[in-house]
Amino acid sequence: MNYPIKLACLIDDDDMYVSLLTKLIDIRKLAEEILVFKNGEEALNHFLSSFKDPQGQPVPQIILLDLNMPIMDGWGFLEELSKHDFPALNNCTLYIVSSSINPVDIERSKHFNLVKDFIVKPIGPNELIEIFSEAPTAP
């Protein structure tokens, strides 16, 4: 079975949203595996350790990042991640997926090279298919 994405990553604290999105991804067979983190800190710790260890865990091809999360929010995650230069990230497409329609947030997202685009929730099946097929395919 040819999935467009081998590993997708969801960083979001809304359990309901995560379960719905996971269902959608499964139904449409968009990704083989899904990695979930409840906040920026959890995600950051995982990536920092996996990037530093070349034999370590696989890097997701796509990351869907929420903005409003406890402990460390989306901005905090982006800022910390931006401090490092991980070549592995070149094969990863990161999208901010948020219910925020605040133009300030949208503007701010443009300052991060890591961010491919800002998607406003809800993300529908068609849009999901589009971004999953655009993201770099698994090596």
Min dist CB 120 to another protein, Å, is 8
d(CA 80, CA 60): 18
- Lay out the site mask for another protein across 11-50 (x = CB under 8 A, - = otherwise): ---x-xx--xx-xx--x-----------------------
Distance CA 90, CA 137 (A): 12
Q: Which is nearer to another protein, 58 or 124 (CB)?
A: 124
Interacting residue with another protein among 45, 49, 90, 102 (CB under 8 A): 102
Shortest reach from residue 23's CB to another protein, in Å? 6
- On whether the CB atoms of residues 60 and 8 are closer than 8 A, the answer is yes
Beta strand extents in the chain (DSSP E only): 5-11, 31-37, 62-65, 93-98, 115-120
Q: Which of 36, 48, 106, 123 binds another protein (CB under 8 A)?
A: 123
Amino acid at the residue 37:
F
3-class SS of residue 5: strand
Contact 65, 35 (CB under 8 A): no
User: Tokens representing 40?
Assistant: 């920026």
Q: Which member of 101, 107, 136, 137 binds another protein (CB under 8 A)?
A: 101
70 near another protein, judged by CB under 8 A: no
Tell me: does residue 129 bind another protein (CB under 8 A).
no
Positions touching another protein (CB under 8 A) are 14, 16-17, 20-21, 23-24, 27, 68, 99-102, 121-125
